[in-house]
Amino acid sequence: MKILVCISKTPDTTAKIAFTDSNTKFDTNGVQWIINPSDEWYALVRAVELKEKDPSTVLHLISVGQADTDPIIRKALALGGDEAIRVNADSHDSFYIASQIAAVAKEGGYDLVFTGKETIDYNGSSIGGMVAELLDQPYIALATKFELNGVQASISREIEGGEEVAEVTLPLVLSASKGLAEQRIPNMKGIMGARTKPLKVVEPVAVDTLTTISSFGLPPAKAGVKLVDADNVDELVRLLHEEAKAI
Amino acid sequence: MSVLIFIDHAEEQIKKASLEAISYGVKIAQQTGTTAEGIVLGNLTDDLAVLGKYGVQKIHHAADANLDHLDAQQYTAAIAQLAQSINADVIVFSNNTTGKAIAPRLSAKLKAGLVSGAVALPDTTNGFTVKKNVFSGKAFANITITTPVKIIALSPNAYKIEEVGGSTELVTYTPTLAASKVKVISSTKASGEIPLAEAEIVVSGGRGLKGPENWGIVEDLAKVLHAGLACSRPVADAHWRPHNEHVGQTGGAIAPNLYIAIGISGAIQHLAGVNRSKVIVVINKDAEAPFFKAADYGIVGDAFEVVPKLTAAINKLKGA
């Protein structure tokens, strides 16, 4: 069994969001970087669990980014995985990134490719689906449970209005949502071991991007809260009805 | 040249998010002087002819039992074949769970640029630029699609449904499909009666409610408001409420007309998922809770006293 987990570097969830260069670039000044939460908490941890159950499993991590991504990759390796591959490129176009991952996945012949359900920076929810199409494999988006029986996977996923269980024969690509696994904290052995695990750097394949970011902006700030006395709930209802016209 | 709208359905009915996608696609067709056509995959009981009133001129329906369950690979193939045969240059999805499974695949298949989570109509004055939320709602980005065919997945609750009048021509569509590799074994309906992403009003509870046994007051309030139910991350992590109710940066992002937060302090990660709500009401006994800074209306008080009173007051209003 060979598993590839896609890891993205994202700003910390508490990071202040600001832009530079006439609002065309994200201001990375003072930003702390983390592993994208759904990549780490759900996709990676579930893959690590599968390897713990079957130690013959080969588990590789992949990230598309420049050298400043390496600390994030080492952090991910501290949770598990045999080695990591970094595609030495930087792009905000999901098709470009997915094409890089698909090229590595094709060459490596993986049975499973896991991604998180979305990154918390560009919120595209696109990489998994694009990789699946480029590999011509089934894609299960928003998976909340994953069980493996030989080459047969049983997967629960979010669908409109509920959840369903599907059976799919490997190989496949999935995007991981809450429920797939529980967040883990890396232990000292993992952190020490991660330092010496192989981190291969490969150059990107030539791909045209499909989109560009023209500009960024911040939503207008709220005017300020109107406080209503706890003993005067009728007043809140009046405001919501007459002023906000929300009820 | 045409706009192709993917019309999703669940429980054999056309849902609100699909009507929003239709209105959005129809508007783009009007703006660019082309026709708006729809595609429906799988069987459903809803009458498709009524969709004419939203301005969609033609609906291609593949009533194939193989398409009754979502298989992203097959759906993508079916949509791609039609898009190519009718020369669609804009393809519109709702950015709901179905759209998230298919739109990226279609983008890769057609080499057509995708903007997922769009919140406004495209600006076509200089190219084709679509506004979307980034950083989980803390900011927005204007994304320019540089390919001849464009794909947009519209955020739920971001575009108003409009009845423009008209009729639609229904045609049978028979895509060429390979055997499905996804076998659906069972499905269950989500616990909430109103899908969270589509709800006009959302009532949400946090740790301040102290335990799952206290959710009755939240549910009562949601009931009188016909609201969806949501919760904060600690609540979902503690399994007080199901994961699908978790809203915030790492849960779902929602944009209802009215969001009522009860016993939620308003950490930045929570705000990221709900700050596109038009009106925010915060009920918290801690006057220093950061959520008040992001709110339109607030009550500093004990949720266990305030919420039942609020439910009663709304009942009174609705009865009047």
Q: Cα B69–B75–B81 angle (5° rounding)?
A: 150
Residue A228 lies in a domain: no
Element (H, E) at A193: helix A188-194
Look at residue A2 and tell me whether its pLDDT is greater than 80: yes
Set of chain A residues whose Cβ sits within 8 Å of the Cβ of B116 = 123-126
- Percent of chain A's residues with pLDDT above 90: 94
Q: What is the mean predicted confidence (pLDDT) over A129-153?
A: 97
Indicate the fold that domain B196-319 takes in CATH.
Answer: Rossmann fold (3.40.50)
For testing contact with chain A, the best of B250, B271, B293, B317 (most A CBs within 10 A): B250
Residue A122 lies in a domain: yes
* Residue carrying the six token digits 């074949």: B81
Question: pLDDT tens across A167-194, in order?
Answer: 999 999 999 999 999 999 999 999 999 9
Which one of B135, B145, B300 has the shortest CB-CB distance to A227? B300
Look at residue A94 and tell me whether its pLDDT is greater than 70: yes
CA distance A105 to chain B (A): 16
CA distance B39 to chain A (A): 17
- Percent of chain B's residues with pLDDT above 70: 99
Look at residue B296 and tell me whether its pLDDT is greater than 90: yes
Q: How far apart, in whole angstroms, are the C-alpha atoms of residue A162 and residue B244?
A: 9
Look at residue B320 and tell me whether its pLDDT is greater than 70: no
- Contacts of B149 by beta carbon, 8 Å cutoff, 6+ apart: B83, B88, B89, B90, B91, B110, B111, B112, B113
Q: What is the CA radius of gyration of chain B?
A: 21
Res A10: pLDDT: 97
Look at residue B106 and tell me whether its pLDDT is greater than 90: yes
Q: What CATH number is given to the structural domain containing A215?
A: 3.40.50.620
Cross-chain Cβ contact B296/A222 below 8 Å: yes
Cross-chain Cβ contact A226/B201 below 8 Å: no
Residue A95 lies in a domain: yes
Question: pLDDT tens across B190-232, in order?
Answer: 765 677 888 999 999 999 999 999 999 999 999 999 999 999 9
User: What ranges do the domains of chain B cover?
Assistant: 2-172, 196-319
Res B50: pLDDT: 94
For testing contact with chain B, the best of A211, A218, A228 (most B CBs within 10 A): A211
Minimum mean pLDDT range among A97-106, B112-121, B207-216, B243-252: B243-252
User: Into how many domains does chain A fold?
Assistant: 1
Res A221: pLDDT: 82
Question: pLDDT tens across B10-38, in order?
Answer: 888 898 999 999 999 999 999 999 999 99
Which one of B113, B181, B306 has the shortest CB-CB distance to A233? B306
Cross-chain Cβ contact A247/B275 below 8 Å: no
- Among left, alpha and beta (phi > 0; psi -120 to 50; other), residue B164 is alpha
Q: How far apart, in whole angstroms, are the C-alpha atoms of residue B306 and residue B314?
A: 12
- Contacts of B145 by beta carbon, 8 Å cutoff, 6+ apart: A210, A211, B112, B113, B114, B115, B127, B128, B129, B130, B151
β-pairing, A83-87 vs A58-64, is: parallel
Residue A193 lies in a domain: yes
Q: How far apart, in whole angstroms, are the C-alpha atoms of residue A64 and residue B55?
A: 43
Cross-chain Cβ contact B97/A158 below 8 Å: yes
Which one of A129, A169, A213 has the shortest CB-CB distance to B72? A129
Q: Which residue of B has its CA nearest to A117?
A: B100
- Percent of chain B's residues with pLDDT above 90: 88
CA distance A80 to chain B (A): 22
Q: How far apart, in whole angstroms, are the C-alpha atoms of residue B159 and residue B162?
A: 9
Which one of B73, B115, B249 has the shortest CB-CB distance to A13? B249
Q: Is B185 exposed, middle or buried (0-12, 13-18, 19+ CB in 10 A)?
A: exposed
Cross-chain Cβ contact B104/A98 below 8 Å: yes
Minimum mean pLDDT range among A14-18, A161-165, A219-223, B73-77: A219-223
Res A129: pLDDT: 98
Res A162: pLDDT: 86
Mean pLDDT of chain B: 95
Res A30: pLDDT: 94
Q: How far apart, in whole angstroms, are the C-alpha atoms of residue B133 and residue B141?
A: 6
Res B15: pLDDT: 86
Length of chain B: 320
Complex prediction ipTM: 0.95
Question: pLDDT tens across A225-247, in order?
Answer: 999 999 999 999 999 999 999 99
Nearest residue to A88 via CA among A7, A205, A196, A8: A205
Look at residue B256 and tell me whether its pLDDT is greater than 80: yes
Q: What is the CA radius of gyration of chain A?
A: 21
Residue A246 lies in a domain: no
Strand ranges across the sheet with B258-262? A226-228, B297-300, B279-284, B258-262, B201-205, B228-231
Neighbours of A237 (CB within 10 A): 21
Res B192: pLDDT: 58
Confidence of residue B46 (pLDDT cuts 50, 70, 90): confident
Cross-chain Cβ contact B296/A133 below 8 Å: no
Domains B2-172 and B196-319 share a fold: yes
Residue A236 lies in a domain: no
Residue A21 lies in a domain: yes
Nearest residue to B175 via CA among B94, B92, B93, B61: B61
Res B191: pLDDT: 62
DSSP state letter for A6: E
Structure tokens at A117: 């359900």
β-pairing, A112-116 vs A2-6, is: parallel
Question: pLDDT tens across B125-168, in order?
Answer: 999 999 999 998 889 999 999 999 999 999 999 999 999 999 99
**Owning domain of residue A179:** 2-221
Indicate the fold that domain B2-172 takes in CATH.
Answer: Rossmann fold (3.40.50)
Q: How many CB pairs under 8 A join A and B?
A: 284
Res B64: pLDDT: 92
Mean pLDDT of chain A: 96
